[in-house]
Amino acid sequence: MYPNFINHIRKYVDLDDHSVALLLKYITPLKLKRKEFLLKEAQVCQSIYFVEKGCLRMYFVDNKLNEQITQFALEHWWMTDHFSFQDNKPSPYFIQTVEKSEILAISTTSFEAMLRELPQMERYFRIIMQRAVAAAQLRNKYLYEMSKEEFYQHFSTSFPEFVQCVPQYMIASYLGLTPQYVSELRKKKL
C-alpha cells in the first residue's frame, strides 16, 4: 500500500509493519484527475501533501492576473503552503494537479497526533525539512549566479522528468521566462 510513501520514509528512519499500520490512520489518500485543486487562494492550507503518483504545481496570481508558478512536486515529494499550514492562515497560493495523481494528505490535526504517536516521524520530518532548507539554499545561490539560460539548462539536466511531463508554458512560468524563450532554449539544447 502506497509503496512510494512507505519506501521514502524507510530511506530515512526505521518503520516496522506495526508502525506502518499506525501511520496509515493519519493518511487520507486522494485520487485526483488532471487540473484538480487541493488549495485555492484565500483558503487555509489544511494539509501537507505527498505525491505518491503524478505531479503537483503551486502558483499564485500576480497583479497582472498571470499565474506565477513557484514550485512543482514530483513523485516522492511533499508540498504545502508552510506558513498557512503551520499558522492556520489564509494562503495566497493555488495547489493543483498537473496530471492524474495519487496524493496522500495529512491534515494539521493528524500531523500533530502522528508526531506524538510515532517519534520516528518527528525524525523523518526533521530530515525532510532540513533537506528542503538545503535545496532552497542551493536554488537561491543559483538565482544569484546563473543567467536565466544557464538556470534553464541546469534545471532541464537535473530534472529531465519535468521537461518530459510538464507543459512548456508551466516551466516558463516557473523560471520567469516567456514560453517563446523556453522554446528557443529547448531547440538550442536539441
**Distance between CA 31 and CA 169 in Å, rounded?**
25
Of the pair 140, 180, the CB lying nearest a second copy is at 140
Of the pair 34, 139, the CB lying nearest a second copy is at 139
**Distance between CA 98 and CA 154 in Å, rounded?**
22
CB 174 within 8 A of CB 70: yes
Per-residue interface string for the shown chain with a second copy, residues 39-58, x marking contact by CB under 8 A: --------------------
148 is a contact residue toward a second copy (CB under 8 A) = no
63 is a contact residue toward a second copy (CB under 8 A) = yes
Name which of residues 75 to 134 contact a second copy (CB under 8 A). Answer: 81-83, 86, 92, 115, 119, 122-123, 125-126, 129-134
For residue 111, what are the CA distances in angstroms to 47, 85, 103, 116?
8, 10, 16, 9
**Distance between CA 38 and CA 58 in Å, rounded?**
10
Shortest distance (Å) from residue 23 CB to a second copy: 16
18 is a contact residue toward a second copy (CB under 8 A) = no
Shortest distance (Å) from residue 35 CB to a second copy: 22
List the one residue from 60, 151, 162, 181 that touches a second copy (CB under 8 A): 60
**Distance between CA 93 and CA 69 in Å, rounded?**
9
CB 82 within 8 A of CB 125: no
Residues whose CB is less than 8 angstroms from the CB of residue 126 and which lie 6 or more positions away in sequence, other chains included: none
Residues binding a second copy (CB under 8 A) = 60, 62-63, 68, 70-71, 81-83, 86, 92, 115, 119, 122-123, 125-126, 129-134, 136-141, 143-145, 176
